[in-house]
Amino acid sequence: MINGVVCATVLMVAVWFDITQQRIPNALVATGLVAGVTLALLPSGIGVLNAASGMAVGLAVFLPLYFFGVLGGGDVKLLATIGAFVGFPDVLHVAWISGLAGGLIALLMAFASLTVIGLKKLPYAVAIASGTLMLAILRAY
């Protein structure tokens, strides 16, 4: 329960920063990483090895997209942070669902011309938060 609350808090703050400032602060992702690994150590946690695997895989999945200029560095680090909370292989599910959500958000932005309100790039933290939320919903049922 606490794991989900902390993860959701990190995601909400990341979404706010990404929408309002078009960046995700390093301090936020660093704090999230520490929190995710710390919570993994609890008896009800996913285990530090699983958290580390989730971080590494999350980083590896989105890093090529950063190198090609598709995603920002904050987006890559945010998925690695979420990996610390959900572990492996769930971080792959988050990445996959985030990709679908990101595509849908991009289509909506294109149709609605959201650049009118100042958004010049896709705030991908919204897609990552959507992917994480969908995983939580799917895991609950």
Model confidence pLDDT, tens digit, residues 54-96: 999 999 999 999 999 989 999 999 999 999 999 999 999 999 9
Q: How far is CA 33 from the centre of its chain?
A: 12
The per-residue pLDDT of the chain, averaged, comes to 92
What pLDDT does 106 receive? 84
Instruction: Report pLDDT for 120.
Output: 64
**Residue 116 has what DSSP assignment?**
G
DSSP state of 44: T
> pLDDT tier at 131 (50, 70, 90 boundaries)?
very high
Q: What is the pTM of this model?
A: 0.91
- The closest of 42, 125, 138, 127 to 90, measured between CA atoms, is 138
| pLDDT exceeds cutoff 90 at 51 | yes
CB within 8 Å of 12: residues ≥ 6 apart: 129
| pLDDT at residue 117 in the model | 55
pLDDT over threshold 90, residue 16: yes
Determine contact, residues 130/101, Cβ cutoff 8 Å. yes
Average pLDDT over residues 39-50: 96
Task: Compute the average pLDDT of residues 106-115.
Answer: 73
Cβ pair 13, 28 in contact under 8 A: yes
d(CA 35, CA 56): 16
| Gap between the Cα atoms of 49 and 6, Å rounded | 19
